[in-house]
Amino acid sequence: MKAVSLPVAYIPLVDAAPLIVAQELGFAEAEGLSLDLVAAPSWSSVRDMLAFGRVDAAHLPSPVPVAMALGIGGVTTAISAVSVLSANGNVIGISRALESALAASGYAFDFADAGAAGAALARVAGPSLVIGVPFPFSMHVELLHVWRSATPLADIGFEIRTIPPPLMAQALAAGEIDAFCVGEPWGSVSVERGSGALLLPGCAIWSFAPEKVLATRTDWAETEPHLLGRLMRAVWRAGRWLSHPESRTAAAELLSRRRWLGVPSEILDRALSGHLTISPKGDVREVPGFVEFHRGAATFPWRSQARWIAEQLAGRAGLDKADAMTRAAAVFRSDLYRNALQGTGAEMPGASDKLEGSLSHRTAVASASGRLILERDRFFDGRIFDPFAD
Amino acid sequence: MWAIAGLARCVQPQHSGAMTAPLTIVVVEEDRDRAIAIVDALKDSGDYDVHVIGNVTGLSRRIAAFMPDVVLIDIDNPTRDMLEELTLATGPLERPVAMFVSGAAGGLARAAIEAGVSAYVVDGLQPERLKPVMDTAIARFQMIRQMRTELIETRRALEERKVIDRAKGLLMKAKGIGEDDAYALLRKAAMDQGRRVAEVAEALVTAAGLLR
């Protein structure tokens, strides 16, 4: 059988791994697919390629399809997030000047306590902070707002500015930004170049944040259900493979190739292993669950995740929150996920919404198999998002 | 690839009834020659107020200062994401900016993407005023893109020729054969393996380097 070629846009990042692995290790081929992976230079171009039909599927930050459904941002084509590609995986980095000031103030760089890090940073930051993010619609932005809202950072100026990740280290070194929130490998790259230090992993703010999604045009999902199912199964199996500890070295080697990320495998291994070098001096911190591709139903597109994102976006854009949440919930397609992945061994939760932030430890929950264990999904300030609260 | 970002603007008091006011266009392009080529093409095609931004530091703020109707930017330039801030309700332009997608504009937007262009437009800018800008930009971007592709192909051909020459040299020395025979050997190996001559040559040169 000749494989069907399917164009898929992505940005070369560690969390594009499920797509790259699906193609390179034969998971796509086993479904009769050949993924034509198109590397894009920016999220806006990934989004446009998907919206205008240059590709049929894409790697996108989870807030992008939600923002599109709410009419925020440039493009409003109906997009479906059919699965989550990864949870977590971002880092917050700071300039060398702030690193020195924090060290002088006695801060211990535990790389874990977001409340303490926010308080310490607010003390040394001066009147305001300029923070770089890759895209205005991204989990990076949402994590920064959560972090700021519950720490003394709320009392200082806080400007979030879009900087392409490959230029983040340079912007930090040039003093254009004081800090950044970015996906790997770009945080580790800036440490490696000596232009910054890492302050927190994203999961210290929200321990199970839906980071990237597998997105398709909603009309394509309707007209090509079989092709979509094959794509989803191939990508889900790739995520499962990535979650095996013994896959890690091979994954880092594969992603490091020039065809994919073109970054030394040693640097990629930091994110994959959760063994991060946080300063140019070589200080190392362990972060269990730094990035998740599979465990705890990481790939399940919870409607409540979309509602949470919508509430955040609507709040800042001045839109009606209840209406925004309803529209967003229709974008995260737990229905398509259930259809495509039944029979693969994927754990199917009993519900499609959950209380976001309610699990302070791993918890068994109702599921089709009775074996689903969700990972900790706590926010650092203990907030709980109830998707159906009034 | 290129992006055309058209910043469609809401009806603004200072522009009401001012159908004759030239459109303000900002071109974001670091390469000076390319920027000039685009500006010239636009100026030849109509009465536009065209500005070039060559340095992307503080991009969205600098664009906002011009209050443009249309912004043109290369999609291959990763700094394009900086422009997305313009589309936010609280963004630097303080007015709605949307991608140029609906109605008759949809076809143009698709043509733009195919030429490597995409478009942001503000509600209220008449499609008939935007169309000539888009047409000119698309044509110009296609030309630049084609030139760039040709340049890349020429460079690659040159590189391949060098590698093939080195591989031929290695074979001639190792086997004491002439240049034509060496090439025939490479071509046969390529055909047998279903690969390109340049790939076989590269493999040979790499292997020879390792064995040295």
Residue A366 lies in a domain: no
B30, with CB counted inside 10 A (0-12, 13-18, 19+), is middle
Rounded CA separation A214/A20 (Å)? 13
The C-alpha angle B2, B3, B4, rounded to 5 degrees, equals: 125
**Pair A61, A161 in one domain:** no
**Partner-chain residue, chosen from A43, A48, A166, that has the shortest CB–CB distance to B113:** A48
- Does A77 sit within 8 Å of B98, measured CB to CB? no
Give the residue from B7, B3, B2, B19 showing the smallest Cα distance to B128. Answer: B19
Say what the pLDDT of residue A267 is: 96
Q: pTM of the full predicted structure? A: 0.83
**Pair A287, A146 in one domain:** yes
B87 vs A: CB within 8 A: yes
A259: closest CA of chain B, how far (Å): 16
B117: closest CA of chain A, how far (Å): 9
> Which tens digits make up the pLDDT trace of A267-307?
999 999 999 999 999 999 999 999 999 999 999 999 999 99
Say what the pLDDT of residue B3 is: 44
- Does B101 sit within 8 Å of A51, measured CB to CB? yes
The CB density around residue A287, as the number of other CB atoms within 10 Å, is: 23
Say what the pLDDT of residue B35 is: 85
Residues in contact with A322: Cβ distance below 8 Å, sequence separation at least 6, in sequence order? none
As its CATH architecture, domain B3-149 has 3-Layer(aba) Sandwich (3.40)
Residue A53 lies in a domain: yes
Among all residues of chain B, which has the CA nearest to that of A43? B81
> Which tens digits make up the pLDDT trace of A191-213?
999 999 999 999 999 999 999 99
**Pair A184, A239 in one domain:** no
Say what the pLDDT of residue B79 is: 79
Residues in contact with A187: Cβ distance below 8 Å, sequence separation at least 6, in sequence order? A90, A91, A93, A180, A196, A198, A276
Say what the pLDDT of residue B166 is: 95
| DSSP three-state, residue A279 | coil
**Pair A197, A219 in one domain:** no
- Does A317 sit within 8 Å of B88, measured CB to CB? yes
CATH number, position A135 = 3.40.190.10
**Pair A186, A312 in one domain:** no
Hey, what CATH class is B156-211 in?
Answer: mainly alpha
- Under DSSP, the state recorded for B62 is H
B108 vs A: CB within 8 A: no
Structural domain including A125 reads 90-208+264-291
For an interface test with A, the pick among B7, B71, B99 (most A C-beta atoms closer than 10 Å) comes out as B99
**Considering chain A, what percentage of its residues have pLDDT values greater than 90?**
86
- Residues of B within 8 A of A180 (CB-CB) are none
**Pair A51, A99 in one domain:** no
Residues forming CATH 3.40.50 domain(s) in chain B: 3-149
Say what the pLDDT of residue B144 is: 79
For an interface test with A, the pick among B1, B71, B81, B90 (most A C-beta atoms closer than 10 Å) comes out as B81
Q: Which two tokens stand for residue A173?
A: 């070194």
**Considering chain A, what percentage of its residues have pLDDT values greater than 70?**
99
Residue A152 lies in a domain: yes
A322: closest CA of chain B, how far (Å): 19
| Residue tagged 């894009």 (tokens) | A40
pLDDT at B100 over 60: no
Among all residues of chain A, which has the CA nearest to that of B57? A176
**Pair A131, A278 in one domain:** yes
**Pair A37, A178 in one domain:** no
**Pair A161, A271 in one domain:** yes
Higher pLDDT, A72 or A284: A284
pLDDT at B10 over 70: no
Say what the pLDDT of residue B61 is: 77
The mean per-residue pLDDT over the stretch A129-151 comes to 97
Residue A30 lies in a domain: yes
Among all residues of chain B, which has the CA nearest to that of A75? B99
A136: closest CA of chain B, how far (Å): 6
Residues in contact with A83: Cβ distance below 8 Å, sequence separation at least 6, in sequence order? A213, A214, A232, A235, A236, A299, A300, A301, A337, A341
Give the residue from A44, A8, A176 showing the smallest Cα distance to B79. Answer: A44
The total domain count for chain A is 2
pLDDT at A252 over 70: yes
Residue A244 lies in a domain: yes
Residues forming CATH 1.10.10.10 domain(s) in chain B: 156-211
Give the residue from B135, B134, B127 showing the smallest Cα distance to B104. Answer: B127
B79 vs A: CB within 8 A: yes
Residues of A with CB under 8 A from a CB of B: 41-45, 48-49, 51-54, 72-77, 134-137, 161-164, 166-167, 176, 316-318
Is A350 in contact with A368 (CB distance < 8 Å)? Answer: yes
ipTM of the complex: 0.77
**Pair A298, A312 in one domain:** yes
A11: closest CA of chain B, how far (Å): 11
Residue A190 lies in a domain: yes
A79-83, A140-144, A158-162, A195-199: the lowest-pLDDT one: A158-162
Give the CB-side neighbour count of residue A219, counting CA atoms within 13 A: 6
Say what the pLDDT of residue B25 is: 85
A283, with CB counted inside 10 A (0-12, 13-18, 19+), is middle
Say what the pLDDT of residue B104 is: 43
B190: closest CA of chain A, how far (Å): 23
In the structure, what pLDDT confidence band is assigned to residue A251 with cuts at 50, 70 and 90? very high
In the structure, what pLDDT confidence band is assigned to residue B6 with cuts at 50, 70 and 90? very low
**Pair A8, A64 in one domain:** yes
Rounded CA separation B76/B138 (Å)? 15
